[in-house]
Amino acid sequence: MTTHRLEASPLWPARLDHIRYDSPDAARLADFYGRTMGMAVSTLGPAEFLLEAPSRTIVVGQAGAAAHPYSAFALADGRQLETYRAFLKERGVTLLPSPTPLFGSDAFAVRDPDDRLAVFGTRTRPAAAAATPGNVAGDLPGMLQHVVVASSRFAAMLAFYTDTLGFMLSDTVHKDSGPEAGQVNVCFLRSDEMHHSFAVFQAPQSRADHHAYETTGWNDLKLWADHFGTLEIPIWWGPGRHGAGNNLFFMIKDPDGNNIEISAELETMAKGQPGKKWMGARRATNLWGEPWIRDTAAASS
């Protein structure tokens, strides 16, 4: 029986620094994030693009199919990183080379049960300090803040990220009916005081779910929605307010079908503070309206 840690591990504090999306048309995806998210586009290698604006960075790579191969979390400094490395070694975790060119040489990666890498390091390549001139969205507030995956190996993912990697458990969602009523099928995990930097939704297939940009308030959602409207990119979910995390949100899709969330008012939680338990995903995912149910086997949640 696992306890899913509620005490702070050496991972605390860490924040999501960047993610990588692979695409069968990386140039098209990079162009989309450049125009839509106000990010400057540059090349890191022959089949790798860097997209960045102040407070948000993603890497786009060329591959046979759309994928989310890694999420990269930045720790405070090299000393914390070494402490965390020792913490993982004590747990028998296999440490792998870091795949990202944005972190220092002391960065490392671990492979999770869904075969996705979680990368830990410190940022050595400077983040974009100013928006690209002429890029209308470049000045809109939107800090890359969390990334979420859907998983068919939910229990293993929950155990790995909490008990092994030391993420702190925030809210959980529980099936509210059927033979598995009461079982957890969504977990929100934090690595600093923001309610979640990572989350896992149980689903029939493991895949990317979404990533989110945290803004400074409700008015920013209007500015982003107006910007997307100018580009004729429709909102497909929201606006609404998540129950878990209490944040205002809406979502759009990129050309590969990846979900992009614009968020505001994400709640903060202290170290060790227990999260809420939600019965069913309906109100946990949207207090205002239509939910987004990933676990289609959970009858009414």
List CB contacts of 156: < 8 A, sequence separation 6 or more.
113
Could you tell me the smallest distance in angstroms from the CB atom of residue 150 to Fe ion? 12
What is the end-to-end Cα distance of the chain in Å, rounded? 25
Among 167, 180, 184, residue whose Cα is nearest residue 277: 184
What is the smallest separation between the CB atom of 135 and Fe ion, expressed in angstroms? 24
- Exposed, middle or buried: residue 247 (CB in 10 Å: 0-12, 13-18, 19+)? buried
Of the candidates 209, 283, 199, 198, the residue with the CA atom closest to the CA atom of residue 246:
283
The CB-nearest residue to Fe ion is 212
Question: Binding of Fe ion at residue 212 (CB under 5 A)?
Answer: yes
Residue 113 or 238: the one with the smaller Cβ distance to Fe ion is: 238
Residue among 114 and 261 whose Cβ is closer to Fe ion: 261
Rounded to the nearest whole angstrom, what is the least distance from the CB of residue 146 to Fe ion in the complex? Answer: 6
Distance between CA atoms of 242 and 244, rounded to whole angstroms? 5
Task: Considering only residues 261 through 280, tell me which ones interact with Fe ion, judged by CB under 5 A.
Answer: 261
Contacts (CB under 5 A) with Fe ion, residues 242-261: 261
Pick the piece of the chain touching Fe ion (CB under 5 A) from 44-52, 53-61, 126-134, 204-212.
204-212
| 22 binds Fe ion, rule: CB under 5 A | no
Nearer to Fe ion, 148 or 184 (CB): 148
We find the least distance from the C-beta atom of residue 223 to Fe ion, in angstroms, to be: 19
CB of 261 vs Fe ion, minimal distance in Å: 5
246 to 15, 81, 83, 130, 283: CA distances (angstroms) = 19, 31, 33, 30, 11
From residue 107 to residue 146, what is the string marking binding to Fe ion with x (rule CB under 5 A)? ----------------------------------------
Q: Is residue 224 within 8 Å of residue 262, measured between CB atoms? A: yes
Q: Which residue, 192 or 261, is less far from Fe ion as judged by CB? A: 261
Q: How far is the CB of 201 from Fe ion (least distance, A)?
A: 10
Q: What is the chain's length?
A: 301
Query: CB-wise, 40 or 293, nearer to Fe ion?
Result: 293
Query: Rounded distance, CA 26 to CA 46, Å?
Result: 11
Q: Which residues bind Fe ion (CB under 5 A)?
A: 212, 261
